[in-house]
Amino acid sequence: MRPPKSERLLNLVILLLVARNYTTKEQIRALMEPYRVSTDEAFDRMFERDKDDLRALGIPLETGFVDKFFEDEQGYRIKRDAFELPSIDFTAEEVAVLGLAARVWRHAGLAAATSDALVKLKAAGLSFDREQLDQVQPTLAAEEPSFEAMWQATVHRTPVRFDYRRAGQREASTRHLEPWGVVTAQGRWYVAGLDTDRGEPRMFRLSRIVSEVTSTGNPGSFTVPEGTDLRALSQTLTPLQPDRTAVVLARAGAANGLRGRAEVLATDVTGPDGSGSWDRLEVPYGSGSDFTGELLGYADAVIVESPPELRASVRDRLAGLLAGAVR
Amino acid sequence: MSGGARGQVSRLLALVPYLQSRTDVSLAQVAADFGVRPEQIVQDLKVLWMCGLPGLTPDKMIEVDFEAIEDDPEGVVHIENAEFLARPVRLGSSEASALIVALRALSEGSPESTQEVIDRCLVKLEEAAATGTAMPRVEVHLPRSGTGERHAAVLQGAIANNQQVRLDYYVPTRDETTQRVVDPLELMTSDGHDYLDAWCHLAQGRRLFRLDRMYAVEVVDAPRHEHSLSPRDLSAGLFEPGPDDAVAVLHLERHARWVADYYPVDAVEELGDGRIAVTLRAGDPRWLVRLAMRLAPAVTLVEPPELRDEVTRTALAALDLYGRAAANP
């Protein structure tokens, strides 16, 4: 019976790992029976495939010359310090956090990658008990069909091509991208990178990709520019953390959307309409967010008292709307 | 873990150091830790038994104690003569990236003390990754700061225990917080938002409720009413057009084109200069007026005339408040 391929691969790993120097292909063949008993051609094919398998497994297979002075014989080796997970001390708290992290992904491929990582940490001696931290468990889902391919392209820095349908357009167009990273905001996934057709950084919503994601180059064939700030690029996608407060008057019983996060400073306040049925609220908001728009949505149920620039912004946009309506 | 020979080799490279770092581990425990069946681990060990140092003479082979685990999942797995494989392989870039992003997601919305623990983990994982692994460039902005998850847990419990729930629910269209009792049916996700499908006692009908608009969720100690309802199909999106929908035409300036992306629109027409006209429908015309107000003046409600007039009236009333305030400081 032919020995299973996994047996051959594991013996090859061990051989290259324990060898002190580079081992030539012929030496390897002499040491391993499955190679030895094969014809020259079969051995060549088998050896090439086995090298590919090892690399796919993340095993750092190096090539070099057996003799530094006579660069004639090429050999292979696996350097132990590049191969082995270094010994790292994780505290009990850190182990608990890693255990939680393993349950975050709601995506088959990424969940599998996380559990593979955890298996390696277990192999390094860590134990993950089902210990419960007093912590809300977030989840990351990715339903977009293009997610996995785009994720892999970012991790391995592989340029890609895909068909993209822009908002409000029926026709898709082919785009070329060096993907720098992915962003999730509000439950949607985006990819940011260099749009090589336009020579500019762009962001694409993965749900708008209507084709397969195809590699157009080799892994590692571009570098992400130094200082690329994905957070800045993705800023427009996410509501900003409140960094200031506004004081507004709200009609009693109205503006309930604001009241959820507002503090009531006073009730029965007399408003500019002369009625005393207003509440004065203090509302936190983010300077970059469209808080003006939110306030406009409450129409005449809310008046801004301060800050003056917010007050002006609401008034200007109301005036703009009416100017447009008259036009 | 990937299948085939690669999967098995990957598992073996972890299994050998795993077993050497533990003295007393049962076959069942090994299988659980590796997420496979015990039979698979036995298969793996049979391969391992044929491996060893170059030459593979008996003294160089890895030894496996098969007797202890024969037909006994509680038997202790024991190997010897494998000191040359004492450590697992470094984390690959995909593995490290997936774990790091999960940790970042965990960090968002965690108390500061947990964030510090996570930060320390992230530094250590960088060390554990293969040389040349670039840290993944991933930004995680979770939709909510945990309230949604808390609500989801309560609702899931109520569904499992066949209980009604009381909701404080915000309805943006009417700017109202309503209290209602519902029979929870199912939790579902669509386009980044979590929803509860439920039978609403207040509306006497089946409704979808967004979890992030629930201000409070409380289990009521009463069994759900019986309904014979088929599961909801969200494949075509949440919005179900109805015969009584209000339909409006909106003009969007270039920088407001995202509206066409964000809401289900019936038709889009280019107007030049990057402006577009979209046809939008909504169950409640007040929603359309509110949308036009929120996005003014980048969005103009053009049709129908009665809604256009309603927007104008609303804007005049609001501006009037500022006018009088200015005259009477």
Interface membership of A308 toward B (CB under 8 Å): no
Across the interface, whether the CB atoms of A272 and B322 are under 8 A apart is answered yes
pLDDT surpassing 90 at residue A49: yes
- Euclidean distance between CA atoms A140 and A105, whole angstroms: 5
pLDDT surpassing 90 at residue A46: yes
pLDDT digits (tens, 9 = 90+) for B150-165: 788 888 888 888 899 9
Query: What chain B residue is nearest to A5 in terms of C-alpha separation?
Result: B5
A105 vs B contacts (CB less than 8 Å): 98, 102
Q: How far B221 CA sits from the closest chain A CA (Å)?
A: 25
- Would you say the ipTM is above 0.85? no
B150 vs A contacts (CB less than 8 Å): 136
Q: Point out the domain boundary residue: B169, B192, B223.
A: B223
- Tell me, yes or no, whether B203 lies in a domain: yes
Residue whose C-alpha is closest to residue A247's, from A283, A279, A276: A283
B110 vs A contacts (CB less than 8 Å): 135
- Tell me, yes or no, whether B127 lies in a domain: no
pLDDT digits (tens, 9 = 90+) for B124-141: 988 888 776 666 677 776
**With 0-12 CB in 10 A as exposed, 13-18 as middle and 19+ as buried, what is A304?**
buried
Tally of structural domains, chain B:
3
Nearest to B131 among A82, A122, A181 (CB): A82
pLDDT surpassing 50 at residue A327: no
Across the interface, whether the CB atoms of A169 and B85 are under 8 A apart is answered no
Q: How remote is the C-alpha of A293 from its chain's centroid?
A: 30
E strands, chain A, in order: 23-24, 61-65, 74-78, 105-106, 140-141, 160-164, 173-185, 188-195, 200-205, 214-215, 244-251, 263-269, 278-285, 302-306
Nearest to B276 among A7, A168, A256 (CB): A168
CATH number of the domain that B213 lies in?
2.30.30
Residue B30 confidence (pLDDT): 95
Name the DSSP class of A208.
G
Query: What chain A residue is nearest to B130 in terms of C-alpha separation?
Result: A82
Domain span at residue B189 reads 147-223
Q: Are residues B21 and B64 in the same domain?
A: yes
Q: Are residues B283 and B219 in the same domain?
A: no
Q: Are residues B275 and B214 in the same domain?
A: no
User: How far apart, in Å, are the Cα atoms of B288 and each of A254, B57, B127, B292?
Assistant: 19, 81, 54, 6
Residue percentage of chain B with pLDDT more than 90: 34
- List all residues 6 or more positions away from B204 whose beta carbon is below 8 Å from its beta carbon: none
Across the interface, whether the CB atoms of B294 and A294 are under 8 A apart is answered yes
Cα of first residue to Cα of last residue in chain A, in angstroms, is 87
Q: Residue A88 — pLDDT band, cuts 50, 70, 90?
A: confident
Per-residue pLDDT, averaged over A185-190, amounts to: 80
Omega within 30 of 0 (cis) for the link into B297: yes
What one-character-per-residue DSSP string does B30-53 give?
HHHHHTS-HHHHHHHHHHHTT-BS
- Mutant choice from A81, A120, A277 vs B, greatest count of B C-beta within 10 A: A120
Residue B246 confidence (pLDDT): 82
SS3 content of chain A, % helix, strand, coil (to 5): 40, 25, 40
Per-residue pLDDT, averaged over B65-83, amounts to: 91
Residue percentage of chain B with pLDDT more than 70: 87
Across the interface, whether the CB atoms of B314 and A300 are under 8 A apart is answered yes
- Mutant choice from B1, B2, B9, B131 vs A, greatest count of A C-beta within 10 A: B9
- Tell me, yes or no, whether B297 lies in a domain: yes
Q: Point out the domain boundary residue: B54, B80, B106.
A: B80
pTM for the whole structure: 0.63
